[in-house]
């Protein structure tokens, strides 16, 4: 089984895999039978590398989203800025594998005046 397929199999059993330094942590460990645990141990370096890659992709996608939101907030609001924010939002959701939600206090709206 490939490392990605193994991670998918663990996830379908409700097991979460995390990297802690050089260690691979599985929660809850009780959801893993001896055969799967042996496969995980055999593929540990590849699984750790894959989880780090996923983690970096998530961080990059969320950072890109943050930059686009900030750029749209401080610049004039127009269709192109909104489209970039939505594209970055979708990319971040795809990278994290979960829907994103807004949280925190809203910022003060920025007033723009029409040029005469």
Q: What percent of the chain is predicted at pLDDT more than 90? A: 11
- CB-based contacts of 11: which residues, under 8 Å, 6+ apart? 17
φ, ψ of residue 90 in degrees (nearest 5): -65, -40
Radius of gyration of the chain from Cα atoms?
20
22 located within any domain = yes
82 located within any domain = yes
Return the exposure string of 83-104: e unless at least 16 CB atoms fall within 10 Å of the residue's CB, then b: ebbeebbebbeebeeeeeeeee
Structural domain of 79? 3-96
Report which of residues 29 and 46 the model is more confident about. 46
56 located within any domain = yes
pLDDT tens per residue across span 79-97: 677 777 778 888 888 887 7
Question: What is the total count of domains within the chain?
Answer: 1
């Amino acid at each position: 089984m490939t490392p990605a397929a193994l991670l998918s199999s663990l996830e379908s059993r409700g097991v979460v895999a995390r990297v802690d330094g050089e260690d691979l942590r599985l929660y809850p460990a009780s959801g893993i039978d001896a055969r799967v645990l042996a496969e995980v141990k055999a593929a540990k370096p590849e699984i750790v590398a894959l989880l780090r890659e996923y983690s970096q992709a998530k961080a990059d996608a969320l950072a890109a989203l943050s930059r686009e939101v900030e750029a749209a907030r401080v610049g004039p609001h127009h269709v192109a800025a909104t489209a970039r924010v939505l594209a970055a939002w979708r990319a971040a959701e795809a990278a994290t594998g979960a829907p994103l939600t807004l949280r925190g206090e809203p910022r003060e709206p920025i007033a723009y005046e029409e040029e005469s």
